[in-house]
Amino acid sequence: MKKRLIGGMVATAILIPVAAFAASGVIEMPTRTPMTTEQVQVDEVGKSTLEKLYLAFPETKSFEIIDASNVQGDVSKGENLINVKQTSIVLQEKGGTGKKITLHTNGNTGEIEHVIQENWEPKEKSLITLTDQEIKAKVSDLIDKMYGNVEQYEIAIEQMENPNQKTWMLNYTNEMFDKPVYQVFVQDNTISVTKIVGIPTGPKPSNMKVEGLFSLNGKPDYTADAFLNDEKLFALLKMSPTELKQELAKGKTVVEIAASKNVSKQQVIDVIAETQARGQLQGDGVPISEHSLKQMMKAIEPKLLPVIEHKTETKW
């Protein structure tokens, strides 16, 4: 079972998502600091997280915040230290027995990395009584509302070998990535979604806040954002993130936009690949040498071509 899991841990059993620690060896975790409802509502990350939730599920505006906390500090991973910053919020229908949802947000990037949805199905027809197709539909609806455009992924579902409790694992994959973009576990009446791909390893610069640079069927398509939200790319193109998004919305590719700026395709590839390679090596705790950087850039390059040659698919 463990060999099939990203990070080797069941997502529902952790607070900081497995995506933050792709390898074992975590020695010490920083302590969590409780937050009041008032603190969540004035906290920048907390407010942003609630806004995304309320947009996805308007009914949650009436939910109560029953628990909240944040954690910040260095985590030991082998001989390296990784800075972790995360805000967690738990909301539940008033009365304390109904629908419940938990959100874990990366404090550096503002990205919701982990969503746990509990008791959203009636007890007489809980999730574990549904067919595989019905479970897929429920999970896909959650991902589509929280992240958008779930139709761009291939979905694999399997029942885990868990004698104590029925458990299904779903992996949402896209050909641009080696790892699943989302890994999901369904147990009892609970759906637990962890976003694996697209979480930057370091702080996100203040001028890199544009999401959904591409659109698909009228919705933001976040798949390419991890590649294109690159400060060095913006500098190379001499464009702001907003300006790049506006040009992409006109149906141009990144390569075409670059050509209009007398920037070659290879220059675009080299800039993005280096950023991604450095982040990957740093996240894996691998020393960044010239050789390791070139090797990683070479491996990443084929994944960039579908992104920089892609035209937005919004249906006007």
Contact 285, 300 (CB under 8 A): no
Quick one: DSSP state of residue 223? T
Query: How far apart, in whole angstroms, are the C-alpha atoms of residue 22 and residue 1?
Result: 16
Mean pLDDT score, 242-253: 88
Q: Which of 112-126, 211-225, 285-299 has the highest mean pLDDT?
A: 112-126
In contact, 68 and 102? CB cutoff 8 Å: no
- Confidence at residue 10, expressed as pLDDT on a 0 to 100 scale: 34
pLDDT over threshold 70, residue 117: yes
Handedness of CA 141, 143, 145, 148 (dihedral sign): negative
Residue 244 CA to residue 235 CA, distance in Å, equals 11
* Tokens of residue 151, six digits: 């139709």
**What pLDDT score was predicted for residue 270?**
93
Residue 26 backbone dihedrals phi, psi, to 5 degrees: -70, 120
H helix intervals, the chain: 37-42, 44-56, 132-146, 225-228, 231-237, 241-249, 254-260, 265-283, 290-308
Tokens 């591409």, residue?
Answer: 214
Q: Is 3 exposed, middle or buried (0-12, 13-18, 19+ CB in 10 A)?
A: exposed
Q: Is 185's pLDDT higher than 80?
A: yes
Please tell me the distance from the alpha carbon of residue 41 to that of residue 253, in angstroms, as a whole number: 39
Q: What pLDDT is recorded for position 1?
A: 38
Looking at residue 257, its pLDDT comes to 94
Query: Could you report how far apart the first and last alpha carbons of the chain are, in Å?
Result: 45
Pairing of β 64-77 and β 80-92: antiparallel
Please state, in angstroms and rounded to a whole number, the distance separating the CA atoms of residues 117 and 110. 20
Q: What are residue 81's DSSP bridge partners?
A: 76
- Cα 16 from chain centre: 13
Q: How much of the chain exceeds pLDDT 70, in percent?
A: 78
Mean pLDDT is lowest, of 24-33, 86-95, 151-160, for: 24-33
Cβ-based neighbour number of residue 4 at 10 Å: 12
Query: What are the residue ranges spanned by the domains of the chain?
Result: 30-114, 121-198, 215-309
In this prediction, residue 288 carries a pLDDT of 76
Which band of pLDDT confidence, cut at 50, 70 and 90, is reported for residue 240?
Answer: confident
Structure-token match 């992924």, residue found: 153
Triad 107, 108, 110: Cα angle to 5°: 65
> Please, which contacts does 91-99 make with residues 24 or more away whose CB atoms are closer than 8 Å?
91/53, 91/60, 91/63, 91/64, 91/65, 91/66, 92/63, 92/64, 92/66, 93/62, 93/63, 93/64, 94/62, 94/63, 94/64, 96/66, 99/63
Rounded to the nearest integer, the mean pLDDT of the chain is 80
Contacts of 260 (CB under 8 A, 6+ apart): none
